[in-house]
Amino acid sequence: MPEIHYTSKRITIHLREAAERFGAPDPIGKISPFGSGNVNDTFLVASGVNEKASFILQRINAGVFNMPGWIMQNLRIFSAHVAKRLETIRPLERRWEMVRFRKTGEGKDFWIDPQGGFWRAMNLIEEAKSFDSIAGFNHASEIGFALGLFHSLVKDLAPGALKDTLEGFHIAPLYLRRYEAVLAGAHVAPSADTAFCTHFIEKRKSLVTVLEDAKTDGRLPLRIIHGDPKVSNVLIDTRTHLAVSIVDLDTVKPGLIHYDLGDALRSCSNPAGEDPFSLEEVRFEPQLCRAVLGGYMGVAKDFVAPSERNLLYDAVRLISFELGIRFFTDFLEGNVYFSVTDSEQNLRRAIVQFRLCQSIESRAKVLRKIIDEAK
Ligand code: GN1
Ligand code: MG
């Protein structure tokens, strides 16, 4: 079998060598790109003979995470904590699995290749599936449950116990500042789409401080958060259709649960997903939002104080606005952060998030009511 290479703008590596470090199944059937992540390079290492021996191999994007060792250090602490907590709450009366990292022959949970690339591998969670967009109300409620369970499993893990693996992540005023600096030096041909984005951001600049102000003056406490609880990061059991795991743990670090709730809600309440066929499909569906919050509050309402609940509308509006700014900034910068299939994808993604933000604003009253009533 020929050596397998994978070449993208940031990776040229003998994948087989990386796979073998983590105890590749013998013989390897195929190593192929896996999932729809925008940041890391992810592969499925399939066994030629035994499907159960297949696993996920991932190369961390060092351009984004400049201390990848901290990610694994955090995950060791996090995994040990959650394993202990799960013991105390078992029986959970439903299936729930945590990501398990594989070890190299030297007993390490990562491998650094000769070019400095940082690799790790995870076992596949069996009979579970990820979706790129929301499939219905039960799905939305299950994602809420998964996030609520996650928050409740880490509620007694001190925020200071974990490193900040991605400084500035979800700090909206910093994204705005960065956007303004990039815009000032950008050489992008003006178009109706770029004008829509610049105008959209200009009109909403004052929104970006809402969560950071509440953090600074003590209205919102720091907790351990997931950081990226979008639809595709909650795995669904293929037989029961219940959430079975929450994956993509690189941004498990101190933060505000409002970042997580804002992100889960903007992701799950837009049935069109982040890369829709047509912009006309983009909308924020209040009943999906209700389903997510219902699933969440069912497990986690105890630690959402009324003063925190008050800021949930602002959070969902802000996180979609923030993601739009992040996509648009990356477009202006030449697509250096998020993976793209073409040079305009980040521009289209930004417009989707801005449209979603508009849809959230147009439904403010009903959303505030749903948030008030969620239990
Ligand atoms: C990125 O790589 P991925 O797809 O898991 C991003 C998230 C965004 C998301 C949008 C570290 O996540 O913040 O919400 O794209 N992750 C990072 O799809 O920036
Ligand atoms: Mg992610």
pLDDT at 47 over 90: no
pLDDT value, residue 4: 45
Ligand 2 centroid–CA 327 distance in Å is: 14
pLDDT (0 to 100) of residue 301 = 86
Question: Residue 39: CB within 6 Å of ligand 1?
Answer: yes
* Sign (positive or negative) of CA dihedral 97, 254, 357, 327: negative
Instruction: Give me the CATH number covering residue 119.
Output: 3.30.200.20
- Ligand 1 mean position to 197 CA, how many Å? 20
Both 51 and 101 in one domain: the answer is yes
pLDDT digits (tens, 9 = 90+) for 247-259: 999 999 999 999 9
When pLDDT is averaged across residues 244-248 and rounded to a whole number, the result is: 98
Tens of pLDDT, residue by residue over 285-339, are 999 999 999 999 999 988 788 889 999 999 999 999 999 999 999 999 999 999 9
pLDDT score recorded for residue 13 = 65
CA 21 to chain centre: 27
Look at residue 352 and tell me if it is in a domain: yes
Whether the pLDDT of residue 3 is over 60: the answer is: no
Number of domains in the chain: 2
Ligand 2 centre to CA of 351 (Å) is 20
Of 72, 104, 126, the position where a domain reaches its end is 126
Structural domain that includes position 161: 137-373
Determine whether the shortest distance from the Cβ of 323 to ligand 1 is under 6 A.
yes
Average pLDDT value over all residues in the chain:
93
Contact call for residues 141 and 292 (beta carbons, < 8 A): yes
Q: What pLDDT was estimated at residue 89? A: 81
Check whether 372 has a pLDDT greater than 60: yes
* pLDDT tops 80 at residue 245: yes
Query: Whole-angstrom Cα distance, residue 357 to residue 129?
Result: 28
- 119 with 230, same domain: the answer is no
Pairing of strands 223-225, 253-255: antiparallel
- Of the candidates 243, 238, 54, which has an alpha carbon nearest to the alpha carbon of residue 128? 238
Q: Is the CB of 130 under 6 A from ligand 1?
A: no
Residue type, 315: A
- SS3 for 1-66 is CCCCEEEECCEEEEHHHHHHHCCCCCCEEEEEECCCCCCCEEEEEEECCCHHHCEEEEECCCCCCC
